[in-house]
């Protein structure tokens, strides 16, 4: 989502380049429009901005009959959706921003902004994520790492090692060997929601889970990283690790509204899109599975979104508890619906004013 200042400037100029990138709603008229709507411009204080029609309509607004904004966004989302499929099937090719823009019928500027608004990644980042997914499969099937690297479309082994660290949670060689040689440290602590285990590599948090016993939590950690070297943290080592533990403790004690930790996880391209979007949901607000699916450009993928939430092994840092069913029911939660309800109640209370998503979160947290 663009900044409010950028959105308002586009509305003032009735700039057609931004049609499909965002919508603006007018509280006094109860409608939402595309940026280029020819109707009389409203006062700034009465305007709100939305990335999708679903979020505008959730605030009680209806589409403008003059500019038909729902059609513009729907067309734009369809083009981005098709472009994602094209990137996925051609990720081993040299896809330039110019060629992708031409395929989508958009300018380079508009494609870059629209794609990132919908997907949460730039076209280049999405292509790299798709290549990493191919690489993960190839590492298990190819004769050696070099063959897998080139099969996935990477031009050099050195570059793929740099990029894979951010998404595989380990180097290609480590992943091929089941995490052998990867060093993971962990610690447990008691929290208001039960026993909590946090584990991290030297790049960030890779595992945060609630459980009944330390033994059960360690078993889950070893299942996630079966061949890694897993050791308890020493009190004198890794000061940033203790800082992450303290941040989680302050959040669960209600002393801060959310946590912002460096995350080092393995993910498919789809999971990454879902998890990136979840991290953008403000503390104290919720989204439905359908809203998340629409926001990442795949409106029919609500079930896949739910599966991505269930696969999240980093509780709180990737806030999958902020996603509920469209009916308003809590839906599932990897660590129990009761914990989910308590987290939403905690965040809603910390968020302060009850408005929009915050009110919704409070209503279902009671």
pLDDT on residue 197:
92
- Give 325-329 contacts, CB < 8 A, sequence gap 24+: 325/288, 325/289, 326/288, 326/289, 326/290, 326/291, 326/302, 328/360, 328/363, 328/364, 329/364
Tell me the pairing of strands 23-26 and 205-211.
Answer: unpaired
Residue in 33, 64, 84, 206 annotated catalytic? 33
Biggest CA pair distance of the chain: 65
Write the pLDDT tens digit of every residue in 231-287.
888 755 667 788 888 888 888 887 777 788 888 877 777 888 888 888 888 888 899
pLDDT on residue 198:
92
State yes or no: is 84 an active-site residue: no
Q: CA-to-CA distance for 83 and 64, rounded, in angstroms?
A: 28
Contacts of 13 (CB under 8 A, 6+ apart): none
pLDDT on residue 355:
34
Half-sphere exposure of 351 (CA within 13 A, CB side): 22
Q: CA-to-CA distance for 201 and 64, rounded, in angstroms?
A: 50
pLDDT on residue 32:
94
pLDDT on residue 364:
38
Structure tokens at 92: 């081993």
CA distance to 82, 84, 301, 326, 361, per residue, from 294 (Å) = 14, 14, 8, 12, 20
Residue 195, strand partner residues: 190, 211
pLDDT on residue 2:
65
pLDDT on residue 143:
53
State yes or no: is 320 an active-site residue: yes
Q: CA-to-CA distance for 199 and 207, rounded, in angstroms?
A: 5
Rounded to two decimals, the pTM is 0.53
Task: Strands of 51-160 (E only): list them.
Answer: 62-63
Dihedral angle sign, alpha carbons of residues 212, 289, 258, 350: negative
Residue in 7, 37, 67, 320 annotated catalytic? 320
- Taking alpha carbons only, the member of 82, 128, 119, 120 closest to residue 103 is 82
- Taking alpha carbons only, the member of 174, 324, 349, 157 closest to residue 252 is 349
Write the pLDDT tens digit of every residue in 181-206.
678 889 998 888 889 999 988 778 88
Residues of the chain with pLDDT under 70: 1-2, 71-78, 117-120, 133-181, 235-238, 350-366
Q: CA-to-CA distance for 287 and 290, rounded, in angstroms?
A: 8
pLDDT on residue 82:
75
Q: CA-to-CA distance for 128 and 146, rounded, in angstroms?
A: 17
pLDDT on residue 168:
42
């Amino acid at each position: 989502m663009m900044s409010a200042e950028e959105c308002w400037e586009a509305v003032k100029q009735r700039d057609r380049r931004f049609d499909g990138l965002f919508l603006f709603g007018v509280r006094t008229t109860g409608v939402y429009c595309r940026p280029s709507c020819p109707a009389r411009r409203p006062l700034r204080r009465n305007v709100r901005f939305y990335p999708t029609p679903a979020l505008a309509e959730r605030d009680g607004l209806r589409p403008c009959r003059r500019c038909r904004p729902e059609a513009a966004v729907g067309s734009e989302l369809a083009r981005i959706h098709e472009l994602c499929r094209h990137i996925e099937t051609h990720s081993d090719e040299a896809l330039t921003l110019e060629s992708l823009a031409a395929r989508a019928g958009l300018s380079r500027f508009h494609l870059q902004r629209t794609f990132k608004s919908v997907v949460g990644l730039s076209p280049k980042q999405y292509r790299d994520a798709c290549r990493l997914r191919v690489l993960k499969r190839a590492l298990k099937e190819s004769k050696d790492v070099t063959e897998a690297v080139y099969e996935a479309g990477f031009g050099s082994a050195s570059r793929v090692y740099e990029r894979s660290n951010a998404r595989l949670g380990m180097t290609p060689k480590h992943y091929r060997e089941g995490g052998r040689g990867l060093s993971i440290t962990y610690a447990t602590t008691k929290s208001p929601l039960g026993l909590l285990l946090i584990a991290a590599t030297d790049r960030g948090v890779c595992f945060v889970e609630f459980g009944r016993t330390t033994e059960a939590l360690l078993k889950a950690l070893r299942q996630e990283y079966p061949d890694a070297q897993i050791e308890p943290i020493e009190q004198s080592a890794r000061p940033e690790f203790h800082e992450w533990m303290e941040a989680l403790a302050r959040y669960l004690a209600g002393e801060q509204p959310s946590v912002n930790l460096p995350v080092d996880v393995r993910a498919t391209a789809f999971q990454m899109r879902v998890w990136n979007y979840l991290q953008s949901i403000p503390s104290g607000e919720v989204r439905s599975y359908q809203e998340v699916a629409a926001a990442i450009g795949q409106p029919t993928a609500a079930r896949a979104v739910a599966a991505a939430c269930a696969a999240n092994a980093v509780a709180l840092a990737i806030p999958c508890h902020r996603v509920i069913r469209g009916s308003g029911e809590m839906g599932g939660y990897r660590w129990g619906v009761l914990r989910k309800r308590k987290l939403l109640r905690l965040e809603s209370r910390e968020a302060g004013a009850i408005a929009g998503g915050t009110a919704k979160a409070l209503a279902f947290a009671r």
